[in-house]
Structure formats: C-alpha cells, structure tokens
C-alpha cells in the first residue's frame, strides 16, 4: 500500500500513501490495513548472539503480514454534523485503543478529538485475518491505514472548499474542523461533507503529516468513554437492551473440567420453579433460562444431575508438573564445573478471568442468528457459531460489544458459542451469563509451565544461554492460529506448530549471551487454556531475569551494571539507566527489604522496572480478613520505550495495570488444580492484586519517541514487573524462589463445593454496610 | 407476587418480586438500572457497590424483602447532583485522573470510595493508606494506583 517513490524513512520529506474515496452520499474515505515489514536489527558488543526470530520479525509483524494479501478496506465517514465516524474492526476491552485511534484520526484530519466517533465493527468476514485483537498489535497495524484515510478525507474537504470558492487549495487552511480561505471565508467540515463526497469509488493518494507536525498524537489524553464510565452509562453486553425477549440464562456445570451430562433427575420440577422459563441439556451442562439471574441461580442449584467424567479428571498440580518435567526438551551444552549455572522454575496455572464474566446475548431463529458479545476474534466466532448451528456464515450476525477486561480471555468466544446453542435448543433468545465460580473453574487459564535454564560463563563473559520451556498446551484455536498458518512460509522460524511459532516470534533474549537458544515443548492435556496478557513472556522472562541476577553474583557484578554490559541495544540501556537513576538503585535498605530490577523487550519496545519489596515479618504477617497479605511491593519505577507513544496517559494506564499483574503473578495469583478442577471459585480464592498489595509509590516514565513507530503497549509491562518483583524478593530473603507465585504451596482458602457448581448468594449484605 | 417499595435515586419505586430475590437482580433485570455490575454474586468483588442511606453495600447479597419504603438506595446513576447534573467530587476526580480502563468495576469503586472517605471523616481523620488498604473492590485491569490518588484528591473536596 505504501508508495515508495518518495523519500525513505529516516530522511526528510513526506511519504505518499494510497487510499480511496468511496461512492457514498457523504464523504467516505478508506485505506487498506497492513504495515511495512520491520527492519532487521543488528546485535553488537560482548559475544554477539545471532538475531533470534523475534528480533527479525515479531508476532505483531507476522499478524500484519498475514493481513496484507487479504485485507479489505477500513473507512472513515464525515457527516454533515461535522463528526468523523470509524467502525473499528478491533475489540475495546479497556486497553484504550478507541481513544488512541480517535487521536490518530483527529490529528490527521485536523478535527477536535471530541468530534471523532469510534465504534466497534460487527464481524466482517471479508477482513479474514484483519479483525483479530491480540499481540498488542492494534496501534501498530492501524497507525498508517487510519491516518491515510483521514488524510484523504482532509484533502477532499479542502478540494471541496476550493471548488466552492473557486480558489486554489494552497490558499486554504484546515484547523479544528473548519476550512478558512486567505480572504477569511470559512466552512465547517460538516457543511462540506456532501460536496466532498464522490459518486464513484476512486483510488487516490495522500501525504501524511510529519511526526514533527503532530499536535495531538503524543500528548496525554483522557479516555473518550471516561464520563460514561463514571456515570454508569457505559454499556457492556449484559447491560444492552437490544434483543426483545432475551431473558437471563445460566448453566449448571460439571464437577470436573469437560464433564458431560449423563442424566437429570428433576427437569420438570426445575422447569416449574418460580421465574424459570426453560431448562435444556446442552453440550457443556444444563442451561436454565428465567426472568432474572437470581432465579436462574436458584434453578441451576436445584438441578439433580448425574455426570460423565471429564477430560482431566486424574490431573492435579503434581501430576501435571511430573508430565511437564518429563517433556522438557534437553539442554545441548554440557554443564561446566565452576563455570555454569543451572536453574529450574515452576509457574502455576493462572486464570485470565476478567471482572466481566463470560457472557453473550444470542437470538437463534431457524434461518438466522444474531449474537452480541465482546469478541477479539469475531470472524472465527461467526464461523464456529454458524457451524454449530448448521447455518451459513452469512446468516449469523455478530455484534462486538464493549468488553469489561480481557487479558486474553476474550480471544475465545466460549459464551457466544454456548449462548447460541442454548437459544437454538430453547427456541428463544437468551442473555447468557457465566457465574464467577464457573469463570474460574471452567473458564480459560494460562497453563502451568516449567522452565529449565543453563548458562555458562568464562573470562567475564556469558558464553551460552539455554532455556527449555515446557507448558501444558496453550489453545490458539482462534484467529491467531489461522493467521499464522497462512503466513507460515514467510516466517523465519521454519516448520513449527502454532504454539512453537508464537513462542519463537515472541521470545528473544535482549542480552549478548553468546550461543542462545530458547525452546518450547507442550504437553497436550485437555484443560481450558488460552493466552494471558503476553502469553509466554511473563514466565520466560521472570526465569531469565532471576538467572541473570545469579550470573551477576557469580561474576561479582552489580545487577544493573551486569545487565548494562550485556544488553544488545542502546535503547535497552537507556531505559535501564533511567530506571536505575530515578529509582535510586543501590540505596541502602533495611534487612528484609530490597530492590530488584528487570529488563524486558518485546513488541518493538522495551521496559526496565525497579521495585522495592518489604519481606519483614511485621509486613508479611499483616492481617486482612479473607485475604493473603505476604510481602508487599512498596515502590515501583518503570521506564518504558514504545518507539512512539500515541497517548502517553493511556500508555501509563496500561503500564500501571501491568504492574498490578506482575505483582500478582509473582506473589499471590494462581489456580490450584485438584482432581480435574481448579479449586478457586471466587476473588477471595484467586488472589489477583488487591489494594492491600498495591504499592503506595508507583512512577511510570515514558521515554520520548525513539524509533518513530508505535510499538505494542497493552502487554509490554507485565513480564518486567513480574521479574523485578521476583528478583527483589530473592534479594530481600536471600532465597531464589523455584515456584511461582511464591505462596502457591499454601492453600489459603476453603474451596467452594464442586456440587452444585455455583454457590448461592449471601443474604447478610446489610450487615457489612459501611 | 410480593410488592416492594423503596426510594431509588430519589424516586419512590414499587416492584413485584419474590422476597428472596437479591436487590442486584431487581435493579438490573426488573427495573433496568445497569450501573451496578455483576462480578461474583458473593459479596466479594464489590462491583455492584451502591449506597443505602448513605452507606456502601452490595445489592448482590441483600434480598429485596429486607428493604423498607423509607430506605434510600443510590446507585452510580443517582450520584450526580439531581438538579444541576454536576458530578460528585469523586466522579470528577476519576475523570481528572483518568482512572478507568475497561470501566466495569468503576461504578462500584466510586461508590465504595465515597463511603470510605465518609467513614474516615466520621472518625475524625483524613483518609490515609491504611484506609485505602481496606477497600476490597477488585479491579482486574489493575488501576489501583490511580484509584488511590483519585480518592485522596476527592476527599479534600468532600
């Protein structure tokens, strides 16, 4: 799509990009998705490690490459009220892409930000691979196309004004949605929208603004939906009143993962319960539809169900770990006495459950279906639902709703599939909501994994670094898998499966550690798995950074100085230097407290994180009812370089969230598998970071533009935060943990019953009013 | 079907519902007030936090039969000034600090924060880190740092 005849990147001048003016009654402009391939980076200093695949081409590049041959158009419409509208083929789940994309459009159009409306597009099968929200890829893949479309719109509006006034375009200026002539005549974009429209579709080219001319991009902006959020007006799927007759529905689920219904003893009795309208056996359990969700809970609990076994009934934490250890690929370099270091780490299952549980509205008729849900791969959802219902894909309309968090969960569409099945079986529209307990026990989880590392060193250098990672299989059976398959021949990873491909495309060691290899092997156990915010990196990087600290100690070097001397790029050193300076690295601290530092590079960006942790008994022993307390991270400084920050305030928000995730993964947050089911069933069992574990001093520092291209942001900060907390804990306690989270060995709660699958709501809420 | 009357965001409402139906479902499924969110139904996640007679509580865990006609229930929708539309200082602080990410938990966070500030003031002290540590509302986006800042900012104006 790029016209390369104009100056190359890095030289002055403006590049032209191709787009379209589409036939429409008002101004409608479009561009194709897809970006330039990345420039390979070169390694330098120390014992150079050859570039790994992720250095040459990362997951985001692979996704945008997948989009190129098949992508269709994204379009921006200018209406007579002077607004620009864009139906974004991505999912907004809190990561702030709606606001950042609106900023790009407003910037290139010279339109006030509040006049840009970004909505979420329905599933558009013609986009094939291009409606997938994942891999922190949205801004990277949209950066040029949306700006191209907006620049074309601006140029058309200028031409329309020039025609109206019979003056050359060079005498006109565009600003804040108004075009002004040299003689002072003005016309709003709205008043020109119809004159600028085209009766036929034509290809045109546009010049994009130089980065130096940006006045909005790069400035901190608040979320465009912030007011709707704080007034309760923002609508998530279950808040929508879009489908007449869609009543609440919930599901009784099996006592083990993937168990199925043998028989139900009291179907008629439950159907006759107050408020219950329908009961149906489905592939995943027994569905109850009722007037209210409260009555569905009663119905679900009253069901007397006999179950067939599930897919992992014999599995528990220890059986899975044995299988992982057995499946860990062998190390290649032999151990060298006195000059090598071996380490092993276990990472427990962790739920990617969002605060909004899995849900969907479904209305299935004999000849068509309509679905509403927050979906990051809506085209895949549409295909699968059509297949399940026995309908052509074109008969299934899939609306993408605002999502209440994702963290990988909404890559899948378990609730949308299930809601469609229930609606078809009952012959009525439903609003399906998963109970919280089911969302933990039967929802997706980041799989347990095991990492073995061997590093060898001599004469002040690290000579080899090998990491062997074994994981319960991660399910990539959503759009990502297909996108990578389609691109496989062009990827620098050879003939690998999906998971290995993702691993190769995301994992790179930022240090010159000589011969460096990282290999993944998977154990195909039938748990409900999926990605969780940054897939492999949090675990792989935590293990690596702990080993880096140990290497530094073996070689009698300070952890920061050691990292500094081996980092491959100046950008990486810059964030490390900055974090060490701002975080006052090396300051004297009381016994039982310590600093920790870590570096992570991915998504064409990099972070350095410095944390301080308090592991003294008076802190670890602090009491909060029904909570785990333990060590407290007291301070975090994170320095982040994303190449080109589009919305620094949104980027800071993402990094704050990543810090909360990293603290939880290191210290408190895991699923315990026992007899084929996670024991966790509520947020007081699954210990995601809470206020009492939140640091009181957090500083996020965003580096000024470096590469000039926006990198990925949504997941970038998790791995470094996790690793820095782990390193700080090891330094504070003098013990390097071998298992994460560190409290996983103790079950700190009483598990909810397995049967019935969901607990009843309490009735004593007023006793706790404050 | 029993009838239940209470004041909701300044208006008296009467609904027909079973006595034991939790208020959250009366609000969401019968009345159509969707600001209070479902996050667990166990009085744990606190996403549905609302106010009863100026105190924070969780509608997921109170049967509708427990309310009386004089009980004043306020959800996030009723928090702004009803005559002028001016936002509550806590809502304004949430905007000023751009606290929200996905926004799902934030109505509950704001309602809990207001009650927590009032509780501290009633005890004769400014809200501090120990008070903030007691807030149980989950934010799975992890916005806790900005929540703490916003509460301290708003407390000065309450």
pLDDT tens for residues A637-647? 999 999 999 99
Q: How many residues are there in chain A?
A: 770
State the DSSP code for B153: H
- Cα nearest neighbour of A433 on chain B: B38
Read off the tokens for A388.
Answer: 């399940």
Evaluate if residue A512 carries a pLDDT over 90. yes
Residue A408 C-alpha, separation from nearest chain B C-alpha, in angstroms: 12
| Interchain pair A691, B132: CB under 8 A | yes
- The DSSP letter of residue A587 is -
The token pair that represents A115 in the structure block: 């006049």
Chain A CB contacts of B36 below 8 Å = 232
* DSSP-assigned letter for residue A23: B
Q: Which of A195-204, A651-660, A760-769 has the lowest mean pLDDT?
A: A195-204
Do residues A649 and A222 lie in contact, with contact meaning Cβ atoms separated by under 8 Å?
Answer: yes
- Residue A71 CA from chain centroid, whole number: 22
Helix (H, G, I), strand (E, B) or coil at A469: strand
Q: Which candidate from A223, A226, A762 shows the least CB-CB separation from B43?
A: A762
Any CB–CB contact under 8 A between B31 and chain A? no
A628-666 exposure pattern, b = at least 16 Cβ within 10 A, e = fewer: bbbbbbebbbbbbbbbbbbbbbbbbbbbbbbbbbbbbbb
Cα A427–A432–A435 angle (5° rounding)? 145
Question: What are phi and psi for residue B18, nearest 5 degrees?
Answer: -60, 145
In A, minimum Cα distance to B30 occurs at: A292
Write out the H or E segment, with its range, that includes residue A463.
Answer: strand A461-472
Nearest Cα of chain B lies from the Cα of A24 at a distance, in angstroms, of: 34
Cross-chain Cβ contact B43/A768 below 8 Å? yes
Q: If contacts are CB pairs under 8 Å, which of residues 53-72 in chain B contact chain A?
A: 55-63, 66
Where exactly are the structural domains of chain B? 3-76, 89-155
Cβ separation of A230 and B91 shorter than 8 Å? yes
Question: With contact defined as beta carbons under 8 Å apart, do A478 and A412 qualify?
Answer: yes
**% of chain A surpassing 70 pLDDT:** 90
The answer to whether the CB atoms of B102 and A93 lie below 8 A apart is yes
Contacts of A343 (CB under 8 A, 6+ apart): A452, A453, A454, A543, A546, A547, A550, A736, A738
The list of chain B residues with pLDDT below 50 reads: none
Nearest to A328 by CA among A313, A311, A343: A343
CB within 8 Å: B104 and A248: no
Report residue A40's pLDDT band, with 50, 70 and 90 as the boundaries: very low
Q: Is B28 helix (H, G, I), strand (E, B) or coil?
A: helix
Using CB atoms, which residue from B18, B110, B146 is nearest to A656? Answer: B146
For chains A and B, CB pairs below 8 A equal 231
| CA A742 to each of CA A97, A299, A345, A746: distance values in angstroms, whole numbers, following the listed order | 34, 39, 11, 9
pLDDT surpasses 90 at A396: yes
Instruction: Using a CB–CB cutoff of 8 Å, tell me whether A766 touches chain B.
Output: yes
Any B CB within 8 A of A750 CB: no
Distance of alpha carbon A270 from alpha carbon B142, whole angstroms: 40
- pLDDT-derived band at A45 (thresholds 50, 70, 90) equals very low
Torsion angle of the four alpha carbons A643, A648, A653, A656, in this order, in degrees rounded to the nearest 10: 60
Beta-carbon neighbour count of residue A154 at 10 Å? 23
Pick A603 or A193 by higher pLDDT. A193
B window 124-153, beta carbon within 8 A of A: 129, 132-148
Q: Which residue has the tokens 């200093």?
A: A45
Residue A407's contacts (CB-CB under 8 Å, 6 or more residues apart) are: A352, A354, A532, A533, A661, B140
pLDDT-wise least confident of A43-52, A149-158, A293-302, A435-444: A43-52
Sorted by where each starts, the structural domains of chain A and their CATH numbers stand as: 2-32+70-217 (3.30.365.10), 237-311+358-433 (3.30.365.10), 317-348+444-740 (3.30.365.10)
Geometric angle at alpha carbon A758, from A755 and A760, rounded to 5°: 110
Q: Cβ of A405 and B140 within 8 Å?
A: yes
Quickly count: other Cβ atoms within 10 Å of residue B124's Cβ. 6
Q: For the segment A541-598, what is each residue's pLDDT rounded down to a tens digit? A: 999 999 999 999 999 999 999 999 999 999 999 999 999 999 999 999 999 999 999 9
The answer to whether B81 contacts chain A (CB < 8 Å) is no
Comparing CB atoms, the residue among B28, B98, B147 nearest residue A226 is: B98
Q: Produce one character per residue of A573-604: b if its CB has 16 or more CB atoms within 10 Å, e if not.
A: bbbbbbbbeebebeeeeeebbbbbbbbbbbbb
CA A78 distance to own-chain centroid: 31
Q: Which residue do the tokens 């299935």 mark?
A: A364
Burial class (CB in 10 A: 0-12, 13-18, 19+), A166: exposed
State yes or no: pLDDT of A492 exceeds 90.
Answer: no
Q: What is the pLDDT of residue A36?
A: 36
- The answer to whether residue A290 neighbours chain B at the CB level (below 8 Å) is no
Task: State whether A405 and B39 contact (CB < 8 Å).
Answer: no
Higher pLDDT, A282 or A709: A282
Work out whether strand A186-188 and strand A632-641 pair parallel, antiparallel, or are unpaired: unpaired
Nearest chain A residue (CA) to B78? A231
Residue the block writes with tokens 């470096």? A706
**Alpha-carbon distances, residue A701 vs A179, A288, A648, A706, B143 (angstroms):** 38, 50, 10, 14, 17
**Band of pLDDT at residue A284, cut at 50, 70 and 90:** very high
The per-residue pLDDT for A564 is 98
Residues A28, A21: contact at Cβ < 8 Å? yes
- Verify whether the Cβ–Cβ distance A696 to B102 is below 8 Å: no
Reply yes or no on whether the pLDDT at A431 is more than 50. Answer: yes
For residue A7, is pLDDT > 60?
Answer: no
Arithmetic mean of pLDDT over chain A? 91
> What is the pLDDT at residue A8?
39
| Contact across the interface for B107 and A232, Cβ inside 8 Å | yes
Q: Which pLDDT score, from 0 to 100, does residue A248 have?
A: 98
Give the containing element (helix H, strand E) for A302.
Answer: helix A293-302
Question: Measured between beta carbons, which residues in chain A are less than 8 angstroms from residue B61?
Answer: 761-765, 768
Supply the pLDDT for residue A627: 87
From the CA of A612, how many Å to the nearest CA of chain B?
A: 16
Measure in Å the smallest separation between the Cα of A589 and chain B Cα atoms.
Answer: 22
- Rounded-to-integer distance, Cα A310 and Cα A166, Å: 75
Q: Which of B74, B103, B138 to mutate to test the interface with A (most CBs of A within 10 A)?
A: B103
- Residue A114 touches chain B, beta carbons under 8 Å: no
pLDDT at A4: 35
Inter-chain contact B44–A684, Cβ cutoff 8 Å? yes
What's the helix, strand, coil split of chain B in %, to 5? Answer: 40, 15, 45
- pLDDT score recorded for residue A231: 98
Check pLDDT > 90 for residue A465.
Answer: yes
Structure tokens at B76: 């996030």
Query: Which pLDDT does position A74 carry in this prediction?
Result: 84
CB contact under 8 A, A763 and B20: yes
The CATH number of B3-76 is 3.10.20.30
User: Å from B107 to nearest chain A CA?
Assistant: 6
Report, as an integer, the average pLDDT of A71-82: 86
Q: Is residue A228 less than 8 Å (CB to CB) from chain B?
A: yes
What residue of B is the nearest CA neighbor of A765?
A: B61
Cβ-Cβ contacts under 8 Å for A268 (sequence gap 6 or more): none
Task: Quote the pLDDT of residue A38.
Answer: 29
CATH number for the domain running over B89-155: 1.10.150.120
| H or E segment to which residue A601 belongs | strand A593-602
Distance from CA of B26 to the nearest CA of A (A): 8
- CA A168, A169, A173, A177 torsion: positive or negative? positive
A250, A435, A765, best to mutate vs chain B, most B CBs in 10 Å: A765
DSSP conformational letter for B63: B
pLDDT tens-digit map of A98-137? 999 999 999 999 999 999 999 999 998 877 767 888 888 8
Q: Is A648 in CB contact (< 8 Å) with chain B?
A: no
Measured distance CA(A165)–CA(A668) in Å, rounded: 67
């Amino acid at each position: 799509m790029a016209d390369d005849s104009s100056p190359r990147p890095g030289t002055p001048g403006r590049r032209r990009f191709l787009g379209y003016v589409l036939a429409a009654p008002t101004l409608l402009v479009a561009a194709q998705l897809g970006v330039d391939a990345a420039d390979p980076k070169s390694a330098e200093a120390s014992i150079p490690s050859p570039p790994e695949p992720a250095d040459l081409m990362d997951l985001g590049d692979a996704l945008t490459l997948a989009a190129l041959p098949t992508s269709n158009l994204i379009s921006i419409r200018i209406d007579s009220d002077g607004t620009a509208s864009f139906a974004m083929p991505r999912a907004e789940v809190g990561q702030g892409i709606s606001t950042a994309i609106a900023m790009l459009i407003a910037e290139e159009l010279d339109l006030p930000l509040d006049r840009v409306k970004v909505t979420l597009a329905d599933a558009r099968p013609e986009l094939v691979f291009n409606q997938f929200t994942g891999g922190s890829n949205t801004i990277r893949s949209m950066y040029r196309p949306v700006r191209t479309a907006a620049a074309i719109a601006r140029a058309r509006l200028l031409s329309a004004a020039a025609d109206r006034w019979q003056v050359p375009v060079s005498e006109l200026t565009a600003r804040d949605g108004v075009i002004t002539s040299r003689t002072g005549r003005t016309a709003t974009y709205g008043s020109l929208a119809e004159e600028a429209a085209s009766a036929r579709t034509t290809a045109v080219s546009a010049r994009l603004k130089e980065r130096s001319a940006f006045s909005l991009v790069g400035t901190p902006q608040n979320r465009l939906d912030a007011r709707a959020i704080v007034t309760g007006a923002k609508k998530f799927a279950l808040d929508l009143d879009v489908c007449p007759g869609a009543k609440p529905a919930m599901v009784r689920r099996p006592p083990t993962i993937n168990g199925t219904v043998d028989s139900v003893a009291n179907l008629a009795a439950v159907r006759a319960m107050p408020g219950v309208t329908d009961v149906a056996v489905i592939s995943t359990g027994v569905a109850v539809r009722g007037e209210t969700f409260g009555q569905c809970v009663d119905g679900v609990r009253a069901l007397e169900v006999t179950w067939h076994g599930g897919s992992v009934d014999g599995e528990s934490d220890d059986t899975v770990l044995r299988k992982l250890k057995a499946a860990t690929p062998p190390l290649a370099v032999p151990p060298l006495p006195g000059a090598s270091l071996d380490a092993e780490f276990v990472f427990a299952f962790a739920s990617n459950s969002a605060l909004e549980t899995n849900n969907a509205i479904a209305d299935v008729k004999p000849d068509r279906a309509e679905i509403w849900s927050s979906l990051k791969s809506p085209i895949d959802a549409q295909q699968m639902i059509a297949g399940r219902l026995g309908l052509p894909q074109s008969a299934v309309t899939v609306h993408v709703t605002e999502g209440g968090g994702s963290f990988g969960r909404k890559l899948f569409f378990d609730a949308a599939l299930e809601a469609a099945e229930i609606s078809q079986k009952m012959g009525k529209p439903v609003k399906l909501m998963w109970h919280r307990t089911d969302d933990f026990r039967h929802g997706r989880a980041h799989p347990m994994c095991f990492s073995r590392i061997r590093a060898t060193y001599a004469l002040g250098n690290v000579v080899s670094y090998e990491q062997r990672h074994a994981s319960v299989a991660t399910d990539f059976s959503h759009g990502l898998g297909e996108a990578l398959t389609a691109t496989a021949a062009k990827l620098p990873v050879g003939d690998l499966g999906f998971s290995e491909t993702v691993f190769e495309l995301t994992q790179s060691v930022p240090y010159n550690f000589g011969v460096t290899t990282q290999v993944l092997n998977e154990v195909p156990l039938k748990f409900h798995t999926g990605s969780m915010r940054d897939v492999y990196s949090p675990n792989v990087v935590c293990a690596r950074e702990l080993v880096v600290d140990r290497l530094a100690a073996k070689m009698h070097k300070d952890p920061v100085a050691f990292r500094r001397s081996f980092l491959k790029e100046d950008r990486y050193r810059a964030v490390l230097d900055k974090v060490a300076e701002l975080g006052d690295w090396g300051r004297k601290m009381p016994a039982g407290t310590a600093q920790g530092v870590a570096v992570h590079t991915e998504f064409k960006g990099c972070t350095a994180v410095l944390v301080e942790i308090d592991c003294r008994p008076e802190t670890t022993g602090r009491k909060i009812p029904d909570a785990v307390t333990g060590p407290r991270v007291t301070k975090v400084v994170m320095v982040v370089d994303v190449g080109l920050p589009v919305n620094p305030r949104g980027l800071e928000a993402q990094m704050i969230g990543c810090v909360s995730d990293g603290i939880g993964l290191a210290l408190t947050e895991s699923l315990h598998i026992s007899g084929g089911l996670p024991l966790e069933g509520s947020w007081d069992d699954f210990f995601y970071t809470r206020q009492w574990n939140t640091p009181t001093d957090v500083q996020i520092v965003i580096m000024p533009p470096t590469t000039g291209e926006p990198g990925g942001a949504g997941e970038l900060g998790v791995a470094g935060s996790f690793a820095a907390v782990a390193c700080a804990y090891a330094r504070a306690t003098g013990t390097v943990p071998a298992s994460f989270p560190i409290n996983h060995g103790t079950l700190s709660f009483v598990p909810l019953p397995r049967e019935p699958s969901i607990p009843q709501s309490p009735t004593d809420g007023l006793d706790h009013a404050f | 079907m029993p009838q239940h009357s209470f004041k909701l965001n300044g208006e008296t409402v009467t609904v027909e519902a079973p006595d034991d139906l939790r208020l959250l479902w009366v609000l969401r499924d019968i009345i159509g007030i969707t600001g209070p969110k479902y996050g667990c139904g166990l009085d744990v996640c606190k996403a549905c936090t609302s106010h009863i007679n100026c105190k924070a509580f969780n509608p997921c865990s109170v049967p509708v039969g427990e309310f009386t006609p004089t009980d004043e229930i306020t959800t996030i929708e009723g928090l702004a000034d009803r005559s002028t539309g001016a936002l509550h200082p806590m809502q304004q602080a949430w905007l000023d600090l751009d606290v929200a990410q996905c926004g799902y938990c934030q109505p509950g966070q704001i309602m809990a924060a207001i009650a927590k500030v009032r509780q501290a003031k009633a005890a004769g002290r400014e809200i501090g880190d120990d008070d903030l540590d007691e807030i149980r509302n989950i934010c799975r986006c992890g916005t806790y740092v900005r929540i703490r800042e916003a509460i301290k900012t708003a407390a000065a104006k309450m």
